[in-house]
């Protein structure tokens, strides 16, 4: 039987919120669709399409995030900066799943607590940009805003925002979800067989020994428990996998915001765990207005310019009932700023006794350009921001409950450093991201090991 839904009585929902009330607020980072009729017809079609996730899954994740707030779980959130339609393929999806599974294995083993796995996938198709237009050789065109909006090629036709792309994004997200669910249901995540997750190209990785050692230790533990109990240890052949994306393109998100028969209120059924990006987190803006009325667990990116007062105000608006699991803050300060900026925020929230889950995105504050023109991130800065984050939380009496990473299971060379010490010239070999540089498989695993080492101190 399904348990009754008693959390947060509907009486407390702000009266004036509707799925469209965001339209009365300033909305940043949205494309200008030239043809209102085309937009309306695409949105109408979307409203009739099935959801990608269910309210039961959303509330189950919220419960797990509430446990992470209490230190009983650790959140691993990761995936591409931007998914793209062309890479909605079996290999890319399964490789990304493999990396996340391997990282979670390292974290479970090292932290001795369950890990909540959330992919940045099945909907991560819309991107905020620092400028609305791009100029090349005297030609100015709209910026690329993700495959859900337009295409990356530098032509007027490609950069034209096309509302039909939202329907394609919905379909690609559904295909991704379907394949992930099928893999998981088929035993892909079975702890008895972590060898399923091996990726060919890492055969000679400098990290291979450490990883293999962990896999063997876990295999021994599983067999030991099965011997003791005389039965198969339950739940080791199935793990939960949740999805997340930046809910940036509000017309799309609105069309996926639905009511369901057995739960009150409104759910964004395009993803389990949407987040608000740093550029659209203004308290009186359209994105915060939209987010405050949905029942999903939600996250907000917190950059170095946010003040303690702004953060407390955001809690008032987004989680007025102090609902467990509802609100996550993803701080992304940069290795050079975190020590100066984070402690005051942690103090303010702790002193106010507010319930949030703190996680660290050590990627977005550490982006730089190389002399040969690549947008990159140094592994040393990523590691340093993470280590400083653990220290800042320890000093403030708060808890770092997870990480948010941009990573891929492909053998890319986009971030500098790591165990293989990638250099600026290596970036030329396999730099394929459309937007931000991602950790490759090996660098991602190395981050998981770094977290475990730091926590063991
Ligand atoms: C992102 O997560 O890809 C992103 C744009 O992050 P932020 O909003 O933190 O800049
Ligand atoms: Mn990014």
How far is the C-alpha of 99 from the C-alpha of 380, rounded, in Å? 20
CB of 278 within 6 A of ligand 1: the answer is yes
Tell me how far apart the alpha carbons of residues 103 and 405 are, in angstroms, rounded to a whole number: 11
Is any ligand 1 atom within 6 A of the Cβ of residue 332?
A: yes
Q: Locate tokens 């530098």: which residue?
A: 154
The pLDDT of residue 218 is 75
Instruction: Write the Ramachandran bin of 267: left for phi over 0, alpha for psi from -120 to 50, otherwise beta.
Output: beta
How many A from CA of 440 to the centre of ligand 2?
14
CB 136 within 8 A of CB 156: no
| Residue 128 contacts residue 280 (beta carbons within 8 Å) | yes
Distance CA 299, CA 297 (A): 7
Question: What value of ipTM does the predicted structure carry?
Answer: 0.99
pLDDT at 1: 42
- Ligand 1 neighbour 301 (Cβ under 6 A): yes
- The bound ligand whose nearest atom lies closest to the alpha carbon of 125 is 1
Which residue minimizes the CA distance to atom 4 of ligand 1? 277
Q: For residue 233, what pLDDT is reported?
A: 60
Ligand 1 within 6 A of 146 CB? no
For residue 280, the CA-to-ligand 1 centroid distance in Å is 10
What's the 24 CA to ligand 1 centre distance in angstroms? 24
Rounded Cα distance, 395 and 409, in Å: 35
Q: How far apart are CA 56 and CA 308, in angstroms?
A: 34
40 contacts 164 by C-beta, under 8 angstroms: no
Nearest ligand 1 atom to the CA of 404 is 2
Run means of pLDDT, 10 residues per run, the chain, 457 residues: 49 74 97 97 98 97 98 97 96 94 91 95 97 96 98 97 98 97 86 70 72 76 73 65 97 98 96 98 98 98 98 98 98 98 98 97 97 94 98 98 96 92 93 93 94 91
Please count the residues of the chain.
457
Q: From the CA of 452, how far away is ligand 2's center (Å)?
A: 24
């Amino acid at each position: 039987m399904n348990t009754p839904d008693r959390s947060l009585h509907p009486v407390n929902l702000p009266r004036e919120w509707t799925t469209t009330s965001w339209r009365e607020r300033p909305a940043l980072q949205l494309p200008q669709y030239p043809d209102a009729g085309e937009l309306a017809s695409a949105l109408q079609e979307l409203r009739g399409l099935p959801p990608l996730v269910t309210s039961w899954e959303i509330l189950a994740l919220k419960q797990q995030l509430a446990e992470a707030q209490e230190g009983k779980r650790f959140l691993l959130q990761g995936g591409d900066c931007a998914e793209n339609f062309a890479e909605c393929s079996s290999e890319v999806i399964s490789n990304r799943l493999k990396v996340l599974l391997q990282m979670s294995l390292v974290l479970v083993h090292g932290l001795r607590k369950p890990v909540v796995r959330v992919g940045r996938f099945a909907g991560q198709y819309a991107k905020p940009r620092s400028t609305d237009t791009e100029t090349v050789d005297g030609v100015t065109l709209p910026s690329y805003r993700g495959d859900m909006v337009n295409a990356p090629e530098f032509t007027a036709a490609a950069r034209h925002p096309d509302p039909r792309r939202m329907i394609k994004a919905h379909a690609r997200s559904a295909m991704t979800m379907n394949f992930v669910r099928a893999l998981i249901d088929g035993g892909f995540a079975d702890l008895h067989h972590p060898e399923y997750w091996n990726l060919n190209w890492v055969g000679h990785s400098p990290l291979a020994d450490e990883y293999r050692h962990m896999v063997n230790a876990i295999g021994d533990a599983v067999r030991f428990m099965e011997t003791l109990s005389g039965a198969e240890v339950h739940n080791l052949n199935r793990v939960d996998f949740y999805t997340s994306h930046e809910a940036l393109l509000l017309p799309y998100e609105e069309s996926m915001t639905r009511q369901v028969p057995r739960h009150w209120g409104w759910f964004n059924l395009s993803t389990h765990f949407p987040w608000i990006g740093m550029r659209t987190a203004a308290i009186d803006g359209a994105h915060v207005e939209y987010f405050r009325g949905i029942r999903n667990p939600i996250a907000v990116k917190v950059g170095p310019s946010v003040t303690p007062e702004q953060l407390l105000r955001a809690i008032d608006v987004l989680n007025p009932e102090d609902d467990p699991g509802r609100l996550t803050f993803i701080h992304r300060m940069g290795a050079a700023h975190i020590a100066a900026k984070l402690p005051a925020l942690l103090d303010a929230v702790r002193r106010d006794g507010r319930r949030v889950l703190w996680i660290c995105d050590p990627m977005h504050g550490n982006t730089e350009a190389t002399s040969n023109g690549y947008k990159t991130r140094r592994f040393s800065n990523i590691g340093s921001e993470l280590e400083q984050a653990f220290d800042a939380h320890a000093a403030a009496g708060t808890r770092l409950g997870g990480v948010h990473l941009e990573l891929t299971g492909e053998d890319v060379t986009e971030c500098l450093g790591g165990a293989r010490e990638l250099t600026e010239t290596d970036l030329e070999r396999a730099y394929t991201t459309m937007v931000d540089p991602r950790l490759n498989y090996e660098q991602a695993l190395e981050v998981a090991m770094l977290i475990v080492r730091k926590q063991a101190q």
